[in-house]
Amino acid sequence: MTEAARLSRKAMKRAIQNGASTGNAETDATVQKWKLQGKLMRAKGKRKALKGAGDWPQGKQCDSYIDHSAGSPMSSAAMIRWASSNSSLLAYLYPQKKPETVEEGWQALLPGCRVVPSGCWCFHVAGSMVKADNPRGAERCVPKDTLMNCMDPAAGAFHMMSRRNCSCFAQRPAAPPCLFGDMRPAKLLAIISACRAAGVTHIIEQGRYGGLSAYIYALHGFKVTSVELLPLVEVSAAMRTLAPQLTMVDADGRASVIELVNAAPKDEKLAVIFDGEKRHTAYETYLSVKQRVSLAAFDDSNLDSGDFPKMLQTRGEAAWHTWDCAFMREHNDSHPLRFLEKELIAAGKQLLDKELSTGVPGNAVQKLRRQKQIDEHGRLMFHGGMEDLSRFHTTLVRGGGAWLA
């Protein structure tokens, strides 16, 4: 452990606040590094106040990078045609009332899940997201596609993040299996419809997390291989119970995807869904397997204000995006998302009631919002943005493999 790590929190705070030397050159350098990171984080926070993650595109920007040309392999018209022709899939993903089971219709979390308010890690870790069950979980974390020890002060902003508490889902004791997922209906509709149009038989998913999306792909007839660097124990157990035919690979995402694609039988048509590595990093992996893959999906593709789709256009990729104005008018998923919203508002109210019961003076609502425990709508906030899935989009890219459509 370095001298910087051994410094007491009080001494470090004093050094950061008043700029005084700690008497150790290594520690002083670390303090300056942390101060700079703090400034960057504050600046980033100010930018997000104006234009938050997931706030692009807005209004007429929903036509950005959407191909409307006739005969295009990934045009808006083609995607709408493929999606609209899947009547049973539409009925499954857009139920009029909340289904009893995920086999009947889309759910964001299964009945066996419980909400753990303000008691979880704020980034993906292995084992369990619940801090009480996994107190050293942040020793292996992967923020920004990089495996690191977020409990080490050298991790800077991510170390500070490890000291925060967030909310998460976990297995309910003595209950059916718990799976959860952030792939909303419109994304699943686009991915499954395009896979069917391409004749895909095998989906390789990079990034399992709560496991529900992989299970839904399997429910709809695909062979599924799900890769995860940091598997959650409860999710793995639930998957083995619900879908024993599904293959789980717990290893590095990039290496595993390349290995799985190269080893796949020649008669399989492949799709790779990148929900572990993101955007440019995922695209680098995709280029290694492009000629063998019929379709690739890149989740959270709108979180860089259009930089990723712009790059795809520059590279001449045949791509389509779920923010497509015409597609979202046709297949808006706000109704099924309300089922989840009601649950998260109820959970937010429970956390607020708990805060009020402490009797500590002050505005409890403002305190919880400042701590990013609830949002402006009263919804409990989660790692990954489960409280507002409509802000996140997916990009589909046509690969080098042959298509049916």
**Per-residue confidence in pLDDT tens, the chain, 405 aa:** 444 444 444 454 455 455 556 566 655 555 454 444 444 344 444 333 333 456 799 888 999 999 998 888 899 999 999 999 999 999 999 999 999 999 999 999 999 999 999 899 999 999 999 999 999 999 998 877 788 999 999 999 999 999 989 999 999 999 999 999 999 999 999 999 999 999 999 999 999 999 999 999 999 999 999 999 999 999 999 999 999 999 999 999 999 999 999 999 999 999 999 999 999 999 999 999 999 999 999 999 999 889 999 999 999 999 999 999 999 999 999 999 999 999 999 988 888 888 777 766 567 777 777 777 888 888 988 878 889 999 999 999 999 987 876
What is the rounded distance in angstroms from the CA atom of residue 364 to the CA atom of residue 324? 39
Please tell me the predicted confidence (pLDDT) of residue 54.
Answer: 67
What per-residue confidence (pLDDT) applies to 351? 85
Amino acid 26: pLDDT = 57
Q: Which residues contact 234 (CB under 8 A, 6 or more apart)?
A: 128, 170, 171, 178
Give the span between the Cα atoms of 126 and 137, in whole angstroms.
6
User: Taking the model in full, what pTM does it have?
Assistant: 0.85
Q: What is the pLDDT of residue 29?
A: 56
Q: Residue 64: is it exposed, middle or buried by C-beta count within 10 angstroms (0-12/13-18/19+)? A: middle
Partners of 13 in beta bridges: none
Q: How far apart are CA 63 and CA 317, in angstroms?
A: 17
Q: How far apart are CA 188 and CA 194, in angstroms?
A: 10
Q: Which fold has domain 63-110+180-332+389-398?
A: Rossmann fold (3.40.50)
- How would you class 114 by CB atoms within 10 Å of its CB: exposed for 0-12, middle for 13-18, buried for 19 or more? middle
Domain segments of the chain: what residues? 3-38, 63-110+180-332+389-398, 113-171
Tell me, what's the pLDDT at 12? 47
